[in-house]
Amino acid sequence: MSGESEDDDGLDRVEAVSLYMEALKARMDPGQYERLARLVHESAHLLAEGREGIFGDEDEQAELTPEMQRELATILAMMITGGADHRVVEMPGPDGSTGFAIVEASAADDPEKLREIRESLHRWAAEREAIDAELDGIARASEPDETD
């Protein structure tokens, strides 16, 4: 029985995303919609395989307008949570770059909760940056010296 429930939930997610995508197709620039649809497709495959990661190259990511980023975040939330009872809120990065976070509706209306989320994300980004810098240093130190 639980398998049927999981299958029904999966179908509901697909139907919800399909309906949302149809609405987007009707109101978006066709080129933007095609890029967004490709990213949604790639994301669905990553999620189905239980993987996470960054899809597309940097040039493709740079082509995403803030509206496209917001819509992608909304669709990813629908794919992951199975519902539309969340909100996508603007959440600038530590450097002021455009960013979005998917939060529960109650958190979206709570400035204090949003501040806590933003601070937590900024701490995580700073820790990630420090780890990346350390790994980069280790990699450079491990490279053979070409002057020999």
Q: Are 141 and 134 in contact (CB under 8 A)?
A: no
| Ranges under pLDDT 70 in the chain | 1-11, 52-62, 146-148
Residue 26, pLDDT score:
94
DSSP element (H, E) containing 121: helix 111-142
Sketch the domain layout of the chain as residue ranges.
Answer: 2-142
DSSP state of 28: S
Q: Please name the residue that has the structure tokens 């209306």.
A: 109
Q: Classify burial at 37, counting beta carbons within 10 Å of its beta carbon; exposed 0-12, middle 13-18, buried 19 or more.
A: middle
DSSP state of 53: -
Number of neighbours of residue 13 by Cβ within 10 angstroms: 17
DSSP state of 82: S
Residue 62, pLDDT score:
63
* Nearest-angstrom CA–CA distance, 104 and 47: 21
Residue pLDDT, tens place only, 131-147: 999 999 999 998 887 65
AA letter at 25: K
Report the chain's terminal Cα–Cα distance, integer Å.
67
* Nearest-angstrom CA–CA distance, 45 and 64: 20
Residue 53, pLDDT score:
56
Residue 1, pLDDT score:
38
